[in-house]
Structure 1
């Protein structure tokens, strides 16, 4: 499943279940949970309702794709956000909700302690807290500049989340590429 397919399946499943969560918010929560515990299961997207098989499948695929990106030495992790053809205002709102979900995922089990992080990574968490309240302002009327700003924010979130993950999670077990060559 591609990231777009997963986004669409999540959107459909969440709408069908009458959930108020967005695909990005669910992905943010899952990503935060995986940063704290890389064995975490996907969060329930809806309470008190049986999740559809399609939604369960999408969440499982999203978990695997997210872990693969977080553990990738090439840092291929990407937050699950709407495509660039969606209006900028909706994408900014989706990024804010993704960040809010991520912060919830970090703290969901009560074991996350930001004071145990390096100063640099604590700053990333503070920045993500600010981004969870992001929105467009009247000054954002220059569409080209606003698009560039949005792209920079998404990249900052992508790299910042990788930094948090790498600080909280040990590398995967097994021989490194260099060790396997000998």
Structure 2
């Protein structure tokens, strides 16, 4: 997985209207909703056909490759692209909410209006939507730090659950037919 600063630099170089966490969320939502893991993914998730495919080996191409691998990995070793623990709480929570907004957009584009979801996935998608509407607070304490860690873990697991319903379950149904 490329470093957040590498992805941010590539976003600035390409003049994309997105942060690294939001763009990663969009990519993961696209993939979790059944979108193809194509090199042209920025054009797909940003709904801009004028965007060129990232160069092979570029930070955005490596982000796609790493995200696909993490979502497919059975060890559940999926990571969100967010600022490190040394960043202020307001920055980390804001990035997490941006990630969720991006995820919902990418997921909706790939999965459509009525994806086949389990009850748990439907609930998780609703929770992600609530997080996407949240706003970061300026200050916090140890309880807020612990809450953010729990929310990050929830988002990580919800992403894997939605990917399981939309991609892995569909793949399994196809192999049975």
* Fold shared, TM-score > 0.5 on shorter chain: yes
Gaps of 5+ in 1: 174-182
Q: Which residue of 1 aligns with 2:175?
A: none
Q: Using the alignment, how far apart are the partners of 2:140 and 2:94 within structure 1?
A: 18
Q: Using the alignment, how far apart are the partners of 2:166 and 2:111 within structure 1?
A: 14
Q: Does 1:126 align with 2:126?
A: yes
Q: Using the alignment, how far apart are the partners of 1:106 and 1:63 within structure 2?
A: 15
Q: Which residue of 2 aligns with 1:147?
A: 145
Q: What is the number of residues matched between the two proteins? A: 166
- Aligned residues of 1:92 and 1:150 also touching (Cα < 8 A): yes
- Aligned residues of 1:89 and 1:135 also touching (Cα < 8 A): no
- Deviation per CA, 1:107-140: give whole Å up to 9, x if none: 12463524x21111100000000001222447xx
Q: Using the alignment, how far apart are the partners of 1:76 and 1:165 within structure 2?
A: 14
Deviation at 1:46, TM superposition (A): 9.7
Q: Does 1:105 align with 2:102?
A: no
TM-score (norm 2): 0.81
- Report the RMSD for the aligned CA atoms in angstroms: 2.6
- Deviation per CA, 1:160-181: give whole Å up to 9, x if none: 10000011112779xxxxxxxx
- Aligned residues of 1:36 and 1:112 also touching (Cα < 8 A): no
